[in-house]
Chain A
């Protein structure tokens, strides 16, 4: 099928289900459920190749609590998951509060690691590399990233000589700000393109209501959507992609199974299981000569004006040797309130507010004392156009810093999403999460922090004091390590249906034309934020869905 998705009426390509007649039938080549990073990326790719797409989104164009966001409520049985705070249910999805932090997964993250049960992807990093490069562009980067070495050279940073068999530098690339947003937003960036596309029809306030399948439940025929006020539509397509995020993807498959009296990808009771996140939190306070390290391990600005955060990660050979998970850490600086830069900021803010700062004499003395630092910072600000008052603690000379960890989790079958007996306003079962953190996570964090402490002491950088949870195994890990809203693993990828919900093409095992996009398909999480990998896999899935539909694909 070519051309726009149709129901026989002229359409505006972004429209609200409230504005359509009741029981509208729509046909498209591909129906995408969920307009977040994955859904919008796939829609663009398919539309550019002339494939007709219907993209259904449960929310509207803006945040609406009662009409949409409240449908995300759920309950917890384990470490709390913030169902409503961690996700956004409107066009653009959770990219609307995305921090822009990008990094690919590491080689080792894809490998089968015999010390981690259920590890191993059916594809390797090399297979994803071309998609990672394309994903950078989708995530707003104006040019392909330089190598880490070249990036550090661009930043004019020489890192201390960490033992590479223990710790290796790790670079986070921050997506650029937009004119109307602090970082890249899929809705802002790609909404206009979808609005103009004749091949994409976006339906807002189109909440998933159910799948209909053939009699064997091996093929989806239609998906039905409805507003809270009861207006319904049915979308028929050749292929369907669930791209609603790591919690909802599992929920929709579980609901689909209940509605169709079939297993719906859950023949091996895997849907919703192996829920992982990237626990993030403080591991240690670092005290010492932070001035130099502050120019090395920090969020730094390239000559192109993009931000790169330099951190550390556990060397892969050490992960292997000591049978650990992946882990990374960055330094977050508190800033010395008596430094010349902090004092200059105080004075500047007071002037902006129309008055003199108190104790001006003393403050001027502190600025004079630290004049070289103040002059350097001012010069940098002037050249970047950023106001001095907008600088945070990262640039204020510090005498201490917090080592903040991002941890990989081991896949744990009992850490899971399931359906609860509570129902939402559409009458569908809500979710219950039972999220766990395990001993291997704690052991990995302890080892990583111990290595940072030893390396920093060896190099004369500073000394580390462990947070209570790393001194005492009886202190619960989740006292310090919090969720990151990265919901991973609930529809995991594996070639063997006994081991995974989707195959290497993200197709649901046992349902011919149903696919899943998003971090729910990651069999393991790595330690890197998932968005870049979500987009890379979405691009790969778009290529797969295009084959046979488009002459040039």
Chain B
């Protein structure tokens, strides 16, 4: 799949993958196709989430647990491709900036999710879900 349509916006996976956050999301979100590459690259996603104010949560296991909890409440998002589309919808900026802005907008719009009791922005919760699923895929 090269692209996905969401809300009238074409998101080109290749374009998304050229995001400037670094390799972590590139590979993490490519994992359906590169499942074996997960352990080291998924750690990068964890690093990004930690920098994005989730550092208090302490561990990758915790982030994964939040992702799993989010998916339990939102089972229709249990698909990395689908989440990729959702996370990148409307992106016109470098990925890092895009995600930061999405998180800030989530708080303003009160678009939040509760995972294991923690109140997360929708975007944060989806990123945790990606982390959870990609590590699952890595076996």
Contacts and interface: CB of A to CB of B under 8 A. Distances in A.
Contacts, number: 42
A453 B56 CA distance: 15
Contacts of B56: 287-288, 462-463
Contacts of B117: 465-468, 471
A466 B114 contact: yes
B61 interface: no
A288 B114 CA distance: 18
Contact of B119 (A288, A450, A460, A468): A450
Given A287-B56, A288-B56, A463-B56, A454 B107 contact: yes
Interface in B38-55: 53-54
Contact of B110 (A284, A288, A451, A460): A451
A457 B53 contact: yes
A521 B117 CA distance: 39
A113 B44 CA distance: 51
A464 interface: yes
Given A450-B110, A458-B104, A465 B53 contact: no
B65 to A, nearest CB: 13
Contacts of A284: 119
A457 B121 contact: yes
Contacts of B116: 465
Interface residues of B, number: 14
A460 B53 contact: yes
A463 to B, nearest CB: 6
Q: Which of B108, B114, B118, B119 gathers most chain A CB within 10 Å?
A: B119
A467 B119 CA distance: 11
B23 interface: no
Interface string B48-71: 000001101000000000000000
Nearest to A288: B56
Interface in A321-371: none
A344 to B, nearest CB: 26
Interface string B10-37: 0000000000000000000000000000
Interface in A417-465: 450-451, 453-455, 457-458, 460, 462-465
A458 B124 CA distance: 13
B54 to A, nearest CB: 8
B114 A454 contact: no
Given A288-B56, A463-B56, A466-B114, A457 B119 contact: yes
A471 B117 CA distance: 6
Nearest to A166: B110
Contact of A463 (B104, B108, B110, B118): B118
B113 to A, nearest CB: 11
A454 B110 contact: yes
Nearest to B105: A458
B119 A464 contact: yes
Nearest to A287: B56
B117 to A, nearest CB: 4
B115 to A, nearest CB: 10
B107 A457 contact: yes
Given A454-B110, A463-B53, 12 more contacts: A288-B56, A450-B112, A450-B119, A453-B112, A453-B119, A454-B107, A454-B112, A458-B108, A464-B119, A466-B114, A466-B118, A468-B117
26 contacts: A284-B119, A287-B56, A450-B110, A451-B110, A453-B112, A453-B119, A454-B112, A455-B107, A457-B53, A457-B107, A457-B121, A458-B107, A458-B108, A463-B53, A463-B54, A463-B118, A464-B119, A465-B117, A465-B118, A465-B119, A466-B114, A466-B117, A466-B118, A467-B117, A471-B114, A471-B117
